[in-house]
Amino acid sequence: MWDKHRTTVEMATEAVSNPDAVGFIPDPKRRSGKSSRFIGFSPTADAVLVVIVVDHEDRPYGANCWPANATDQNTYRERNNP
């Protein structure tokens, strides 16, 4: 993840574990219906991140993570500041 998105497993874990994280299960932006999307804040990254999680051998696995774009940042803010 670092080479492409400048994010780490630690950052992704922080974002998913953030109590204010917004979860979409299943991920509405994926056709397969096999992944979940979480938008949460990572203190290490000092940014809102998007984390894609899939089930692998019956366990959740962080498949990808990147800095949230403006749309995802707005979703995070709106869900946490109604």
What is the count of structural domains for the chain? 1
Token pair, residue 76, equals 């995070």
Residues 6+ apart with CB under 8 A from 40: 14, 15, 16, 17, 18, 20, 21, 22, 48, 49, 51, 76
d(CA 44, CA 35): 24
pLDDT of residue 34: 77
| Each residue's pLDDT tens digit, 7-44 | 899 999 999 999 999 999 888 887 776 789 999 999 99
CA distance 53 to 60: 6
Range of the domain at 18: 2-80
Q: How confident is the model at residue 61 (pLDDT cuts 50, 70, 90)?
A: low
pTM: predicted TM-score of the whole model, two decimal places:
0.86
